[in-house]
Structure 1
Amino acid sequence: MPRNWTNGAAAAVLALATPASAQLALPAVPLPPVSGLVERATGTVGDTLAPVVTSARELARLRVVRLDELVRRSRGLIERDVLGAPARRGELLLTDPTPEQLAKAKAAGFAVLENEPIEGLGFTVARLRVPERETLSGAQKRLVGLLPGANVSADLLHFQAGGVAFPAEPQAAAPGASVTTPIGVIDGAPGGAALGEARGFAKNAPLASNHGSAIASLLALCGARDVRFADVYGADPAGGNALALARALGWLVTQGVRVVTISLVGPASPVVAKAVAAAQARGVAVVAAVGNDGPAAPPSYPASYPGVIAVTAVDGRNRALIEAGRASHLDYAAPGADILASDARGRWVRVRGTSYATPLVAARLAAAWGPKRVALARLDQEARDLGPRGADPTYGRGLLCETCRRIH
């Protein structure tokens, strides 16, 4: 039994329950709360809980079940790539393609849907339509063989790393000291009075979502005053895709944000990796969640890209969440359970997941903003060491924002 697990503790992976007309029916194990597929702003906050899990192996198994269900119930809009990861059906991406590469792809039956630069990041991505009757994985293998050295990938999907359940009334809590450093959010759009501009990068986006609203409310609680929201989900069943994330990050760079918080997880994507590196080269710090698939799951991205500040979560007793995933490195922990946030209707709800720890760390980084090394040194001084002395794979370099949370 994991040492962070105690009798009676429910390490529940929380999901949204919404009307049948607004979502796919939830299987026995809830799907990841992907806006546009499972969550709608019009949905009600329910109390659907995944079965209690007590081991990393079981969490890893449930992850496979959820992904299988996601593909099966996607109405044919999601397909697996060559490595088995969910992606937008029937499309491949070429990063910085040459005219010769595009010509070869077209001659081989791939239609070029667009070939446009990513705003603010200095590179180009071409979208290619896979020939009819060819599977995504088969077409990907063929195109890689056809274009040696080209950067070919599927339009891989990313999932929100948390859920909400149980409406609750918060205790009084004063907002944190004002944080004026511009912060960017890549997620669903917030509902109600937003902290700043929202722009959509998916069908019918920006569209208010419970997950995006929760992130916005936690940033507001931390004193954030200048926030830009990039909605990569909208009403798109294949929202959260790699191209949407890259475009969102590029737009946020043009908006002058200094810190970007991403409470999403997915597989390694060449397009997102290049976008993150380009944003970092322009002085932007990226903060990302490690996800909720447990320590036996593969490393999560974008948290595992070089230089990204990877965040895990703790409960009200400062114990690491049993479902917290991992990254190739871990920087900080922050509260991600036994806390409240606002849903798209403005109601306070209990939330759980590494999703909700991530904006807390982003807000602290923005408050300490300066040259990145200086800002991180300030956070290291602020972080409270947990677990073994010094940095460790469970809590990183320590706990931040211990008191910046609403509790029930």
Structure 2
Amino acid sequence: MALIAAPLAAQVALPRVQLPQVGPEIGATLDSLDELRASLRRTVDRLARERLRTIDRLVRRNTDVIEMDAEGAPARRGELLVMDVSVKALDLALQAGFTMLSREEIEALDLSVVRLGVPAGLNLADAQLLLAQLLPTAQVSADTLHFQSGSANGAVFAISAQGSASGSVPVGMIDGAPGPSVNVAETRGFAKGAPYPSNHGSSVAALLASAGADTIRVADVYGADKAGGNALAMAKGLGWLVSSGSQVVTISLVGPSNAVLERAIGAAQRKGVVVVAAVGNDGPAAPPAYPASYKGVVAVTAVDGKRRALIEAGRALHLDYSAPGADIYGRNAKGKRIGLRGTSFATPLVASRIARAMGQGRNWRSALDAEAIDLGRKGPDDTYGRGLVCSTCKGR
């Protein structure tokens, strides 16, 4: 389990970890600073241990649909994804005992993915290694799971729009479905039982609208599926959003690197779509989170109401912006106001700002850089990125 790179699962109840206050008052003694550093280290250690325990529970409770892949990440049981495979090579795999489940043509992205069932008697990890040997020129991956990167357990104050939503280009969202109290243009399901209202998806959609997004479409990749949030569902959802006209897509989910999703995001970017993603909540010592770490994706981290970086904020291979991700309210699936904490909730704020800038005919990077407040050391850094966006958002 120590090798697991996937983040905390939203499908199971997450333990609450008491987070120390960051940023001591001026004049604090050296002893108090040492105590703060020690407290932070203990908190990060607890987050890491709880992450592993949570994932272990998820897998053990859902062995019928989830198992570990060759990299030690949770994935859909008994299924492998293959790209760039010839008919002749595919025949070799079938002769070796793999079964053809489906061929997925992902709309708008010119992407073809073959789903194969693993041979009887082989676990997913061993089957993945075998298939990679049989098909050395193909791209083989497991259908790895991605998890929502935020929870409803923080202290809160209301956050909403600054300015008008007019002029925003259409925004797409890959997450759970929002509840009926959140007004979106369209929701489509890409998982068993989807669309199915979720607290996380409801809050992300509400924050999108509050920060200035106009037309919002939602690809529900969770539904009621215990193995929801998988890479193929996300790629298919992205394809639908692109075909429907979304020019910005926000993803508050995190997981390991996956070839299918990376290829899909690259195809969307070549069509001019801006993809925005959260860095996750596994702490700065965690492995890099994806899709935030893919090339060209706008990676977002979070701060609290006092503009302090969240201690649990994860990391990506690059960092673009920070935005409020604690001391804020959202809406659950029933429309009730709930407290939010996590990089999940900073991400739609940044995505909405990008959509507004694009809708006004502005260069979105220049617009966000002009708005961003430089925190931490001068210039871009690994804690706050290029600065804090949406800093003056307040209740309306």
Please state which band the TM-score falls in when normalised by the shorter chain. Answer: 0.7 to 0.9
- Asked whether 1:68 is paired with 2:61, we answer no
Task: Return the offset for 1:74.
Answer: 1.4
Where do 1:343-354 residues align within 5 Å? 343-354=332-343
Aligned to 2:164: 177
* Partner-residue secondary structure (3-state), 1:307: coil
Aligned to 1:38: 12
Aligned residue among 126, 150, 153 for 1:138: 126
Aligned residue among 187, 193, 196 for 1:204: 193
Aligned length: 367
Alignment partners' CA distance in 2, 1:267 and 1:109:
27
CA pair 198-402 structure 1, distance change in 2 beyond 3 A: same
Alignment partners' CA distance in 2, 1:181 and 1:48:
38
Aligned to 1:19: none
Alignment partners' CA distance in 2, 1:148 and 1:109:
17
Alignment partners' CA distance in 2, 1:64 and 1:239:
19
Aligned to 2:90: 102
Alignment partners' CA distance in 1, 2:137 and 2:161:
55
CA pair 140-223 structure 1, distance change in 2 beyond 3 A: same
Aligned to 1:18: none
* Percent pairwise identity: 56
Alignment partners' CA distance in 2, 1:235 and 1:171:
30
Alignment partners' CA distance in 2, 1:268 and 1:172:
32
Where do 1:368-387 residues align within 5 Å? 368-369=357-358, 374-387=363-376
CA pair 60-371 structure 1, distance change in 2 beyond 3 A: farther
Which is further off, 283-292 or 142-151? 142-151
Aligned to 1:246: 235
Consecutive unaligned residues of structure 1, counting only runs of 5 or more, are 1-30, 40-46
Aligned to 1:224: 213
Alignment partners' CA distance in 2, 1:49 and 1:372:
43
Contact 2:178 2:201 in 1 (8 A): yes
Aligned to 1:155: 143
Contact 1:178 1:224 in 2 (8 A): yes
Task: Return the offset for 1:320.
Answer: 0.3
CA pair 242-131 structure 1, distance change in 2 beyond 3 A: same
Alignment partners' CA distance in 2, 1:207 and 1:292:
24
Alignment partners' CA distance in 2, 1:377 and 1:166:
32
Task: Return the offset for 1:49.
Answer: 2.1
Where do 1:2-81 residues align within 5 Å? 32-34=8-10, 37-38=11-12, 49-50=16-17, 52=19, 54-55=40-41, 56-81=44-69
Alignment partners' CA distance in 2, 1:244 and 1:88:
11
Aligned to 1:122: 110
CA pair 305-172 structure 1, distance change in 2 beyond 3 A: closer
Contact 1:291 1:324 in 2 (8 A): yes
Alignment partners' CA distance in 1, 2:317 and 2:240:
27
Task: Return the offset for 1:196.
Answer: 1.2
1:309-358 alpha-carbon deviations (Å, 9 max, x no partner): 00000000000000000000000000000000111111111100000000
* Partner-residue secondary structure (3-state), 1:272: helix
Alignment partners' CA distance in 2, 1:111 and 1:403:
55
Alignment partners' CA distance in 2, 1:343 and 1:50:
22
Consecutive unaligned residues of structure 2, counting only runs of 5 or more, are 1-6, 21-39
* Partner-residue secondary structure (3-state), 1:163: coil
Alignment partners' CA distance in 1, 2:251 and 2:394:
19
Aligned to 2:80: 92
Aligned to 2:27: none
- Tell me which amino acid in the other structure corresponds to 1:360: L
Where do 1:306-325 residues align within 5 Å? 306-325=295-314
Which is further off, 235-244 or 376-385? 376-385
Task: Return the offset for 1:62.
Answer: 2.7
Aligned residue among 255, 280, 285 for 2:269: 280
Aligned to 1:15: none
CA pair 199-52 structure 1, distance change in 2 beyond 3 A: same
Contact 1:335 1:405 in 2 (8 A): no
1:372-402 alpha-carbon deviations (Å, 9 max, x no partner): 9921121111100000000000000000001
* Partner-residue secondary structure (3-state), 2:358: coil
Contact 2:162 2:392 in 1 (8 A): no
- Asked whether 1:358 is paired with 2:358, we answer no
CA pair 171-59 structure 1, distance change in 2 beyond 3 A: closer
* Partner-residue secondary structure (3-state), 2:250: strand
Normalised by the length of structure 2, the TM-score is: 0.88
CA pair 278-389 structure 1, distance change in 2 beyond 3 A: same
Alignment partners' CA distance in 2, 1:188 and 1:110:
32
* Partner-residue secondary structure (3-state), 2:348: helix
Alignment partners' CA distance in 2, 1:405 and 1:149:
53
Contact 2:192 2:225 in 1 (8 A): yes
Task: Return the offset for 1:186.
Answer: 0.1
Contact 2:144 2:255 in 1 (8 A): yes
- Tell me which amino acid in the other structure corresponds to 2:87: P
